[in-house]
Amino acid sequence: MRALTHRRHFVGWLALVLLLATFAVMAGASQTALLGAVAFAPWVSLIGVDVGVISGLLAGVGAGGLWIAAAELDSLHPSLQQSVIRVIILGALGGGSGIVGDRLRKSERARSVTVARQRALIDATLDGICLTDPDGHIMIVNEPLARIAIELGMPAEGTVPERLLAISKRLTDPETYERRMRELAVTPGEASTDEFEVRETGRVFRGFTAPVKDRAGRDLGRIWTLRDVTADKEIDRMRDAFVATVSHELRTPLTSISGFLEMLEEEKHGLEEAPRMYLDVIRRSSERLRQLVDDLLLVAQIEAQRIDLRRERVDLTVAAQQSMETVRPWATEKGVRLELDAEGAPKTNGDPRRIAQVLDNLLSNAIKFSSEGGSVTVEVRGNGQWTHVTVADTGIGIPAEEQAHVFSRFYRARAANELAVPGTGLGLAITRALVDQHGGSIGLESVEGAGTRVTVTLPAA
């Protein structure tokens, strides 16, 4: 039946047959008075909708003529006025139905073009994309995701979480993966980003899912995307290996330079002014190079997850005071005022050396981007469960479009480059990694030209 309904004008031809059958019933059973001209109306409407305006008009006029003929056969003898009125009504019904049908066909063609374009668009993306209903059943899926699903051996039936769970044994960390998939199944209202690696091929995929809502806030379903990030991960591994190798190779000659520099420093009193100045330049440069090597090694350790934290109770107020005293000479030299606002903050469990490194990085950044006469304020607060340390400055601020990148490795803000502010772009990346290692979080608020606030949140002891 479905194949028949897709044939051109099948409904129109069927309606024509039924119209003639209605006439036959009227004429053969003498039912013209009982049925009336209205019996032709459904078939006239169907012909108009299916075939078009002209055919609808002709069908209406023809139906009117058939009614007149049936009435004459039944000896009803309708008046000229009655006949004309019925012919006009049936003709108008057929023509109007034809107009409606033409508009429906035009709308359907436009919709088909739009759907085809949307399908071509999502099929042309590199990412696999699908839309599911709130229960996880697939409604729309693009070609890239279909190919990835076949390559990963996902089953063809079931909800998306069920299909994803079915491939857990093929991954490098099936336990973590299964836990995350089950969490997604029971928390459909949350967005999530996860990565997993296929054990046999080494391919790495990054999946993202988020709820889809209408304008009224009602759940329509979820969108799921899957991206092959194998090449990106390989580049990251190569970069980390390069950084670790270079840092290690730099440390050896740097140790020799520092040793001979200490020997020269002991003879510094016997040197003239120019050689002493050269020694100071060498010392500052070697210290800067040593700090860079240490940062590079720390980044490599963080990426390799080889950071061992020595956990103990840390008083963040005391830690903030010590870090402020460390940078105070530099702040005084730049004319930047330092202030501490600590009010009954609880202690946290952490590595005192790493927490001091976090505070040193934040304070150094704040002073570095502050102008003479500015101020840097450290606030320490707590609510019993969390401790909050905020470093706020009145410096140049960060443009809104750059704020999402400031915690990326080697990222340098445009203003830093324009003002030739020294730095490697590693400080905030290291800071965020160390905060994450402590089970905390870090956030940034900034207004260009008005200053920046960076808040570190750590669990209370």
Any idea what the CATH number is for the domain that residue 264 is in? 1.10.287.130
Strands, DSSP E only, in 198-304?
204-213, 219-228
H helices of 153-229, in order, are 160-165, 174-186
Q: Judge if 111 and 148 occupy the same domain.
A: no
Q: Judge if 50 and 138 occupy the same domain.
A: no
Which residues form the domain of 351? 312-459
Would you tell me how many other CB atoms lie within 10 Å of the CB of residue 457? 18
Percentage with pLDDT > 90 across the chain:
2
Domain total for the chain? 4
Q: Which of 104, 122, 140 delimits the end of a domain?
A: 122
Q: How far is the C-alpha of 53 from the C-alpha of 47, rounded, in Å?
A: 9
Q: Judge if 442 and 378 occupy the same domain.
A: yes
Token readout for 154 is 């996902």
Would you tell me how many other CB atoms lie within 10 Å of the CB of residue 375? 16
Q: Judge if 133 and 212 occupy the same domain.
A: yes
Q: How far is the C-alpha of 408 from the C-alpha of 7, rounded, in Å?
A: 60
**Among the listed residues 390, 316, 377, the one whose alpha carbon sits nearest the alpha carbon of residue 352:** 316
Q: Which of 69, 92, 122 delimits the end of a domain?
A: 122
Q: Judge if 330 and 416 occupy the same domain.
A: yes
The confidence score (pLDDT) of residue 421 equals 64
Q: Judge if 346 and 449 occupy the same domain.
A: yes
Q: Judge if 88 and 44 occupy the same domain.
A: yes
Token readout for 298 is 């720390």
The confidence score (pLDDT) of residue 426 equals 76
Q: Judge if 336 and 439 occupy the same domain.
A: yes
Q: Judge if 294 and 329 occupy the same domain.
A: no
Would you tell me how many other CB atoms lie within 10 Å of the CB of residue 12? 21
Q: Judge if 398 and 426 occupy the same domain.
A: yes
Q: Judge if 358 and 374 occupy the same domain.
A: yes
The confidence score (pLDDT) of residue 420 equals 58
Q: Which of 282, 303, 324 delimits the end of a domain?
A: 303
The confidence score (pLDDT) of residue 422 equals 65
Q: How far is the C-alpha of 135 from the C-alpha of 155, rounded, in Å?
A: 17
The confidence score (pLDDT) of residue 99 equals 92
Q: Judge if 274 and 318 occupy the same domain.
A: no
Residues of the chain with pLDDT below 70 are 1-8, 188, 243-244, 247-248, 268, 270-271, 303-306, 344-345, 411, 415-424
The confidence score (pLDDT) of residue 274 equals 78
